[in-house]
Amino acid sequence: MEYFGRASIEFVHASSPLQLLLKQDSTGQTKGSTSTDLAQVCRDSTPVCQLNPLLFNGHLQTMWTAVAQSAPEIYYRRRVFDADHVTYTGSFAVDFAVPPFQIPEPDPSLPLPLPPRTAFFDEASFASIGSDDSRPMLLVLHGLSGGSYEEYLRHCLLPLMESQDVPWEIAVVNSRGCAGSSITSGVLFNGRSTWDIRQVALWARERFPNRPLFGLGFSLGANIMTNYVGEEGAGCPLKAAVVVGNPFDLQVSNKFLQRSFLGRTVYEKAMGANMKKLINRHREAIIKHTNLDLDRINQITTLYEFDREVQCPTWGYPTEEAYYRDASSCDLLLDIRIPFMAIQAKDDPIAVAEAVPYGEFKQNPYTVLCMTSLGGHLSWFEPGGGRWHAKPVSRFLHNMATKIDLNTIPRDLTDHNAKQRPGVTFKPQRRKLQIDVSQE
């Protein structure tokens, strides 16, 4: 029960969560118990949720993001990667968190200005970026039309960067065309665009062979991150991941938005306007690389209209509903084989609670859901302006990196087909039952 901004917290997970071994000290010993489980790590990482009592529901929390601009100052060096996929061509920008530096004067030759406190790597510096150190490294995906500069993201990064015992290395993978990056092909991004994070994860594992890799995603980036770790399954190069404000089932979330007055008139219009601005910001590139109808796009007013005019013709979806069903990450939750924590707010007006796959969390021991009763969408504003979600995010990642023996985590504990009849298999990535005709 909530009172004066104090939110209740519920954890949803399998009856037998993933068992984890604790790290031994230099003498080969552990203090107290030698093991724990994923649900306990999530509980230990999650503090009391005391939010600003004046922002007493999800709408006020969410709308306050347009007013609150206070966040830690994170400095980045940017590198543009050329996509290495034969189909998903083009380029994308990755921003690496670095110590503060003197910001150079804006480069007038750039097609778009870079975000604040961001500058490009020089070639020599990036060529020598590889290292044999064992620092944990975090790969981050932002929300719809955002970027590495987002306040909700920076609140989570600073505690990790300032950690005295184990400082983290961090890289934010910007969606194509976002955060001042250029669009260089007809391949844009959508809710299941996992190829860029996949390329960066493989690149990081090669350049930093001793670093344990972790993942963090917000909103649409949370959906992409969930799809990615589910697609990778037991072979995922990440050691653990956490997602925040994941819409999970895009079709359900979108229908709820269209059903409510604020959903239609505020959230859908705001997100549609942001995406329309993104397209117009890259007008010349869109004309050069795609056959999109810019006149029709400029007439849209909502996100689902944008998806109809952009996602459907870009990817070949017959309807925006088909896109939502295909891009949703709820089914892929079953294929995750790394420790995975999701943080959601029950009053989130965008990533609605009705779209959260509670049953899948209860079935897969690698996953834990942390659901707060208050918080809005990527908000969780505390008295004084802090963001509560930064605490469980940074603590979970740090606890996994410093307390858990990551090399002993098994990746073959669960079988979501165990209760099904012989010859019938549910394939989460296909979202279909597959019937073995030889059994008939």
Domain extent listing, the chain: 6-249+328-408, 265-321
pLDDT tens-place values along the chain, 440 residues long? 577 899 999 999 999 999 999 998 765 555 667 999 999 999 999 999 999 999 999 999 999 998 877 899 999 999 999 999 999 999 999 999 999 999 888 888 888 899 999 999 999 999 999 999 999 999 999 999 999 999 999 999 999 999 988 889 999 999 999 999 999 999 999 999 999 999 999 999 999 999 999 999 999 999 999 999 999 999 999 999 999 999 999 999 999 999 999 999 999 999 999 999 999 999 999 999 999 999 999 999 999 999 999 999 999 999 999 999 999 999 999 999 999 999 999 999 999 999 999 999 999 999 999 999 999 999 999 998 899 999 999 999 999 999 999 999 999 877 666 666 777 778 888 777 667 655 44
Residue 339: closest CA among 399, 390, 387, 391: 399
Neighbours of 122 (CB within 10 A): 9
- Measure CA of the first residue to CA of the last residue in the chain; give whole Å: 53
What length is written for the chain? 440
Digit-coded pLDDT (tens) for 218-263? 999 999 999 999 999 999 999 999 999 999 999 999 999 999 999 9
Give the list of residues 6+ apart from residue 288 with CB closer than 8 angstroms, or none.
none
pLDDT for res 173: 98
Is 219 catalytic? The answer is yes
Q: Which of 348, 373, 379, 389 is catalytic?
A: 348
261-297 CB burial, b ≥16 within 10 A, e <16:
eebeebbbbbbbbebbebbebbeebbeebbebeeeeb
What does DSSP assign to residue 263?
I
pLDDT for res 66: 84
Is 394 catalytic? The answer is no
Mark residue 117 as left, alpha or beta (left: phi above 0; alpha: psi -120 to 50; beta: remaining). left
pLDDT for res 29: 57
Pairing verdict, β 118-120 and 169-173: unpaired
Report DSSP letters for 142-174, one per residue: --TT--TT-HHHHHHHHHHHT-SSSPPEEEEEP
Residue 409: closest CA among 214, 201, 131, 206: 214
Digit-coded pLDDT (tens) for 40-85? 999 999 999 999 999 999 999 999 998 877 899 999 999 999 999 9
Identify the CATH assignment for 6-249+328-408 out of 3.40.50.2000, 3.30.70.330, 3.30.70.980, 3.40.50.1820: 3.40.50.1820
d(CA 387, CA 378): 9
Residue 374: closest CA among 366, 382, 365, 363: 382
Q: Which of 142, 377, 389, 398 is catalytic?
A: 377
d(CA 191, CA 200): 18
Is 145 catalytic? The answer is no
The owner of tokens 């690389």 is 289
pLDDT for res 107: 82
Give the list of residues 6+ apart from residue 170 with CB closer than 8 angstroms, or none.
96, 97, 137, 138, 140, 157, 160, 161
Please check whether residue 176 is in contact with residue 102, taking contact to mean a CB–CB distance below 8 angstroms: no
Dihedral, CA atoms, 46, 136, 242, 162, nearest 10 degrees?
50
Q: Which of 219, 328, 329, 379 is catalytic?
A: 219
d(CA 411, CA 393): 23
Mark residue 209 as left, alpha or beta (left: phi above 0; alpha: psi -120 to 50; beta: remaining). alpha
